[in-house]
Amino acid sequence: MRLLVTGGCGFIGSNFVRHVLEHYPPTYVTNVDALTYAGSITNVAGLAETYGERYEFFHGDIANPEQMETVFRQHRYYAVINFAAESHVDRSIHSPRNFVHTNVAGTSVLLDMARRHGVQRFVQISTDEVYGSLGEEGRFTETSPLDPSSPYSSSKAGADLIALAFHKTYGMEVLVTRCSNNYGPYQLPEKLIPLMLIKALRNEPLPVYGDGLNVRDWLHVEDHCRAVVAVLFEGKPGEVYNIGASNELRNIDIVKRILAHVGRPESLVSYVPDRLGHDRRYAIDWSKIHRELGWKPIRSFDQAFPETLDWYLENRSWWEPLLERLES
């Protein structure tokens, strides 16, 4: 069985590729990534040497039909798992066009290729941000209305709808997952947790949007990978599955935990003007995937969060070159 994983050099995608190769020995993986700022070949370093012919990499843009035609002609794929995405909200506010290109047009190209080349399953990896913002109570369910607030989340909502339309129109086995905020190793240094950790190490001000009371539900990337595997093999075509961990924390509390972990004062916190369209609270109801597929998160935040911080402290040689590229 061969899987086509797109965006497999990004944060979540690279963790998924490693997870599948390690835990499912019969599986072959083709990793397609455009290697933009969001993806790095260092995220999958050593996989070809470790797994031999079970792993291969193709440098390409999922929105380029000619390149994707080449990829789909190479093998008979059981499934496409589409992690490829422009995912940084701030970047989407400043330059929406790139997000439409990759997240909408790219997903459309992949779906069309999968349909024409007889791929059995297509898993679209999405986000809880497509639901918009919650008040102080309640959680997003799979039937919550889509109400995206940023160009990023709007592009992901559009991709979800296109994917589900391919199921309704062509009968393709399409499934959509919507996860909460991920944390873990190999996350790009511009994201909240590694960014704040790096600034704390440098004794630089830690910029916190607004009052810092925005709430996110934090999910360890390993738990997310396990959930995607469950959906891939056991999920019902045409369905959406929410993936969360019931770890609701305010942004400022995350920042303070980071400061405490590295022994830096809270005086480094610097409140800055809030981001445009900044959603106040996300919270995921993941009872459907637990009820239907038996999945549940197993990584405790109190244990996995400091382990994640320690990973970045021990792997400066991984993130320092990436940070230089982002800052240049």
Write out the catalytic residue numbers: 128-129, 152
- Between CA 39 and CA 129 the distance in angstroms is 21
Q: Are 207 and 240 in contact (CB under 8 A)?
A: no
Using CA atoms, how far apart are residues 11 and 15, in angstroms rounded to an integer? 7
**Strand pairing partners for 182?**
219
Q: Taking the CB of residue 32, how many other CB atoms lie within 10 A of it? A: 27
26's tokens: 């019969």
Distance of CA 254 to the CA centre of its chain: 19
Regarding beta strands 28-33 and 55-59, do their DSSP bridges make them parallel or antiparallel, or are they unpaired? parallel
Between strands 2-6 and 248-250, the pairing is unpaired
d(CA 9, CA 203): 30
Look at residues 114, 113, 121 and name the one whose alpha carbon lies nearest to residue 238.
121
Element (H, E) at 71: helix 65-74
